[in-house]
Structure 1
Amino acid sequence: MEVYLCNARQTHNITGKKTDESDAQWIQRLHSCGLLNSSFLPDDRIETLRTLVRYRRSLSNDSSSYILRMQKSLELMNVKIHTVISDLMGKTGTAIVEAIINGERKAEHFLPLVDGRIKADRETILKSLEGNWRTEHLFLLKQSYTMYQFIQNQLLVCEQEVEKTLQLMAAEKQEGVIENIAPKSTYSANPLKKKTKNEPTFNTREYLKMIHGTDVIAIYGISETVITRWSGTKKISLLMTMNSIKKNSD
């Protein structure tokens, strides 16, 4: 009989007085009937990848929280620019926030910083940039922006470690031979999939293709972030099996 590491939730339904002996007998009975599922035990490489990806997700969440803090500081100063542009930390938003931190206060002076693709008209933009410029909120805005920049730098460093780990995993699958990975901007993504802001900056797709032997990101509804987090787990095997069944049925 093979030894399993199981989730305790699968074995707790035992009636009567519970003792170590009766508990062991019940678990053995469940296992002999094939009713227990083995938990996934990652190897060292997968454990490293899992730790790094989870840390990256934590940094990404922290980054989002500081964006919300910047929006709150602007809102409390009656500056509504974050309601006019879709992304406060995009090209236009970043330029305006930096200008505010550097001391700019006149609404019309912000107009040259607005990207031509912004749909809002000139009058709406000017109104959204008329604030009361309270000192304490300007201070908090600067603090939040500084922390946001720091976290973004930490994200880049973390992604470098993730890429190194994926390189090692790909090398193991490819018998030590890794072809040159094209930069992310040069490969054609699935046009049906919308690129998300939190995707890794490097070409995750090619590494995962070498590791799993198929283009798992081509599966509908799967992003690079999700599939990296799932790599080496039972979820990825199940996902690939389901996708294969779907293709055969089509």
Structure 2
Amino acid sequence: MQPILKSCCGVDVHKNMIKVCIAKGPMDSPPKLYTRTFSTMTADLLKFKDWLKANDVEAVAMESTGVYWKPIFNILEDEFQVILANPQYLKKVPGKKSDVKDCEWIASLLRCGLIPASFIPPRPIRELRELNRTRRKLVGMMASEKNRIQKVLEDANIKLASVVSKIDGVSSMNMIRALLSKDKLSKEEIADMARGKLKSKVDKLVEAMNGKVTDHHRFLLKLHLANIAFLAEQVQEIDEQIQKLMIPFQKEESLIQTIPGISKTSAAAIIAEIGFDMSQFPAEAHLASWAGICPGNNESAGVKKSGKIRKGNSYLKATLIEVAWAASRTKGSSFSAIYNNIAKRRGKKRALVAVGHQILIAVHRTLKTGEPFVDQGAEAVYQRNLEARQQFAIRLLERSGYTVAKASA
């Protein structure tokens, strides 16, 4: 393999130390390998940076090992081309592995340009990404606390979830808080707390709220309610900080909100994961593959095996599936037609993944062209599917020896 770099460095990353190897020499002869060990403390990483400068290193490659690559990247990103590699692309033969061999192998691959670089967004997007991922974690923690409240209510013979659709709704939370100070709620009190459609279910609510609430249950309910309130405050603070960081990207945010199903929150989450510069991805298919939202490709000996989606970016996938749920319920949209067409044949989950795939393609096109999304509408999708089915039926008949001619109107 023809080398393309005169001097490059491979880094084997660990929590407390890094093993580094510089491959240096003329391109028409084997390089000399210089191996050293540095700690991951900032002072030692600065010495590592000076060593790279002294050897005229052009590029540095390392595995994306957990979060341990970030301190090295923070030190080197301003002055070197840093390539972050997927560890799956750098695997060696089992039984012939050591830290020294790993960094030498990375340097050898980098010298020949054989390491595909992972997508690392600029610092403002990375900060936005951390906030959005933290927000998702906190929302998940709130959902866990709500499930624990449901568990306590069941233990206290309170069957509220059998009547209401959301245990965290306004009416439900008012009734739960009232149980903290009373053993039993009267019909009049329940009727006053009921909102909307629940006003017609007062009798069922009275039966559901007739339980055996003890001081132990009240203690747990207070604990879980306090946790939910605290988490809600944290989510609010993160939302405010996200909006501050989104000020430079208001144009991109408003553009992708023209796509059905994408709200202000999901728009910020999508931009946080893929950035705003679509030149990072050569085509929309590359973006879908990187996200892990497109069908997998697994073929051997001419036999196509499972087409399940790849792992990809789990945060982006989760956001796209949420957006797909909303888009599938937008009446008259092309996404709702795509969802209905696939769901009846392949099931709801596969249909959601397919809609999420189409939404990501629309996001790529919108950000690349800078033009708002124009929905074709459900009717156009149904007509396209009808024509495809007609062509399939005609081919099937022709293969059976029939001649098909369209009757004149």
TM-score (norm 2): 0.44
Comparing 216-225 with 153-162, which one deviates more in the overlay?
216-225
**How has the CA–CA distance of structure 1 residues 84 and 150 changed in structure 2, closer, same or farther, with 3 Å as cutoff?**
same
Q: Which residue of 2 aligns with 1:48?
A: 127
Deviation at 1:13, TM superposition (A): 5.2
State the 1:123 CA deviation: 2.7
User: What residue number does 1:102 align with?
Assistant: 181
Q: In structure 2, the residue corresponding to 1:231 is in which secondary structure?
A: helix
Per-residue deviation at 1:5?
Answer: 2.5
Q: Measure how far apart 1:49 and its partner are.
A: 0.8
Partner amino acid for 1:149?
A: A
Gaps of 5+ in 2: 5-58, 60-80, 279-286, 288-359, 381-409
Distance 1:248 1:85 in 2: 36
Matched with 1:76 is: 155
Look up the match of 1:215.
Answer: 255
User: Could you list the per-position Cα deviations for residues 60-109 of structure 1 after superposition, in whole angstroms to 9, with x for gaps in the alignment?
Assistant: 11111111111111111000112211112212112111211232623423
What pairs with 1:65-144 in structure 2 (closer than 5 Å)? Answer: 65-103=144-182, 105-108=184-187, 109-118=189-198, 121-144=201-224
Secondary structure of 2:85 counterpart? coil
The alpha-carbon distance between structure 1 residues 159 and 67, as it changes in their structure 2 partners (threshold 3 A), is same
Residue among 100, 107, 123 paired with 1:24: 107
TM-superposed CA distance for 1:157, in Å, is 1.3
Structure with a larger share of its residues in helix: 1
Counterpart of 2:271 in structure 1 is 231
Partners of 1:15 and 1:59 lie apart in 2 by 40
- Identity, % of aligned positions: 23
Query: Structure 1 residues 22, 86: CA separation in 2 closer, same or farther (over 3 Å shift)?
Result: closer
17-26 vs 124-133, greater mean Cα deviation: 17-26
Report the secondary structure of 1:5's partner residue: strand
C-alpha contact 1:52 1:162 (8 A) present in aligned 2: yes
Distance in 2 between residues matched to 1:129 and 1:97, nearest whole Å: 9
Of 225, 232, 245, the residue aligned with 1:165 is: 245
RMSD of aligned C-alpha atoms?
Answer: 3.2
Residues 190-234 of structure 1, C-alpha deviation per residue, up to 9 Å, x if partnerless? xxxxxxxxxxxxxxxxx3xx1x27621343565544442231544
- Tell me by how many angstroms 1:40 deviates: 1.9
Cα 1:79/1:16, change in 2 over 3 Å: closer
TM-aligned CA deviation for residue 42 of structure 1: 2.5
CA contact under 8 A between 1:6 and 1:39: conserved in structure 2?
A: yes
Structure 2 CA distance for aligned equivalents of residues 156 and 21 of structure 1: 48
Q: Which has the higher strand share?
A: 2
User: CA 1:155/1:132 → structure 2, altered by over 3 Å: closer, same or farther?
Assistant: same
- DSSP 3-state at the match of 1:42: coil
1:107–1:129: 8 Å Cα contact kept in structure 2?
no
Normalised by the length of structure 1, the TM-score is: 0.69
Decide which structure has the larger Cα Rg and report it: 2
Match of 1:7 among 83, 86, 95: 86
